[in-house]
Amino acid sequence: MAPDGAPHIRIAGLTKTYGDVVAVDGIDLEVRAGEFFTMLGPSGSGKTTTLRMIAGFEIPDSGVIELAGEDVSRLPPYDRPVNTVFQDYALFPHMTVQQNVEYGLMVKKVRKGERRERAEQALGMVQLTGYGARKPAQLSGGQRQRVALARAIVNRPKVLLLDEPLGALDLKLRQEMQIELKSIQREVGITFVYVTHDQEEALTMSDRVAVFNHGRIEQVGPPADVYEHPQSEFIAGFVGVSNVLERDGRRLTVRPEKINLLEDGREPQPGWHVEPGVIRDVQYVGPVTRYHVTLDRGGELQVLAQNLEEGSSQVLEAKGRRTRVEWRPGQESVIDEEGGTE
């Protein structure tokens, strides 16, 4: 195992095209050992293709994939020390849960006693003790998802690849599984590479996030960095709400919850950036209210305000009023022009 902090997966110049479509366009990436690393992006952004190349289901046109220092770019899937949790789970329908979980050990000729023991341990980890004799068709979606997870981690892979594993679950179950996945990852210490198009999922679970767009990575960093300081207009919009303004020839973005609406007669806080505008629209969302403010200097901002005391009727009356917005200097991120011209 690679020492802590050293790259565990190293990807360099990875490219994959299908006919005229460039799915992955020269990606460089390093994932550390034991990290929960998320590849986030809209569909067709190249995140799943990248995952499939790490797994070995696709062979890159060019570029290198190294796992713990070993070049695996051209190895077949069964010779790679990685396992995958598939979006549709891909459980073997003719086998029991126990047989599914033991499969990887069975084909590698691990003896029966050890196989049984490790499979039961893995099923215990996903809280499915006692479900071994069932067939996948007898399980709910959430349970199948857990079996798929157990079937992968029982092999103790160096890297676990997860391809939108929670996509088919309903919201409540998905949120439960997010917490559980994260705790399982801490428990087993395996490097997780997680693909999702759900920005909230990415921000909640990951140690670091890579944001994919058009086959390239636009930004890599801890969730807070990516969210608070998006480096491109695309990221500003995809990871959160696109609040982009043009001021003094620069394009910048501010997160809606960082902006304060100044009440009439109140003095702005010293040194803060202030702009006048008109409240074009108001949406009451329960815990918060979302204001759409058209600024006099051009552009529009969304402002998120916590509903500390207001009721919905008071809040909605604000529509059409003149107002001023203010934010602390440094809360805005300047979007680099290259990324912004997308």
Partner 1 sequence: MVESRLTRALLRLGAGFTLFFIYFPLIVIALYAFNGNVTQRWPIEDWSTKWFPVAFENQGVRDALKHSVMAGLGATAIALVLGTLASTAISRYRFFGREIVTFAVILPIALPGIVTGLALQATIKDVLGPFGVKFGLATIVIGHATFCVVVVYNNVLARLRRTSGSLDEASADLGADNWQTFRYVMFPQMRTALLAGGLLAFALSFDEIIVTIFTSGAIQTLPIWMYATLFRPTELPIVNVVALFVILVSIIPVYFAQKLAGDTGVAGSTAQAAPAATQEDATP
Interface with partner 1 by CB under 8 A: which residues?
Answer: 55-57, 76-78, 82-84, 86-88, 90-95, 103-104, 106-108, 127-128, 134-140, 142-143, 151-152, 155
Per the structure block, which two tokens stand in for 244? Answer: 């982009």
Nearer to partner 1, 103 or 238 (CB): 103
CB nearer to partner 1: pick between 97 and 245: 97
- Residue bearing tokens 């140690």: 207
> Least distance in Å: CB of 149 to partner 1?
13
- Which helix (H) or strand (E) element contains residue 228? helix 223-228
Task: State the minimum distance, in angstroms, from the CB of residue 108 to partner 1.
Answer: 5
How far is the C-alpha of 310 from the C-alpha of 182, rounded, in Å? Answer: 37
Q: Least distance to partner 1 from the beta carbon of 250, Å? A: 46
Q: Which is nearer to partner 1, 21 or 308 (CB)?
A: 21
Q: How far is the CB of 54 from partner 1 (least distance, A)?
A: 11
What residues contact 124, with CB distance under 8 A and at least 6 apart? none
Cβ nearer to partner 1, comparing 177 with 254: 177
CA 137 centroid distance within chain: 29
DSSP state of 189: -
Residue with tokens 């695996």: 72
Q: Buried b / exposed e across 124-141, counting CB within 10 Å, b at 16+?
A: ebbebeebbeeebeebee
Question: In the Cβ-directed half-sphere of 173, how many Cα atoms lie within 13 Å?
Answer: 13
- Smallest distance, Å, CB 99 to partner 1? 9
Taking the CA atoms of residue 201, residue 206, residue 211 and residue 215 in that order, the dihedral angle to the nearest 10 degrees is -100
- Closest approach of Cβ 79 to partner 1, in Å? 8
| Pick 52 or 251: Cβ nearer partner 1 | 52
In which order are the strands placed within the sheet that holds 333-334?
Answer: 244-247, 250-253, 333-334
In this structure, are strands 260-262 and 322-327 parallel, antiparallel, or unpaired? antiparallel
Q: 21 Cβ partners below 8 Å, 6+ apart?
A: none
Please, which residue, 155 or 289, has the CB nearer to partner 1?
155
CB atoms within 10 A of CB 154: 24
Q: Write down the least CB distance from residue 118 to partner 1, Å.
A: 13
In whole angstroms, the minimum distance from the beta carbon of 95 to partner 1 comes to 8
The two three-digit tokens of residue 46, written as one number: 């190249």
Nearer Cβ to partner 1 (110/304):
110
Residue 85 or 210: which CB sits closer to partner 1? 85
Contact by Cβ (8 Å): 32, 222? no
Least CB distance from residue 10 to partner 1, whole Å? 21
Rank residues 170 and 337 by Cβ distance to partner 1 and give the closer one: 170
Classified as helix, coil or strand, 162 is strand
Token pair listed for 205: 């679970």
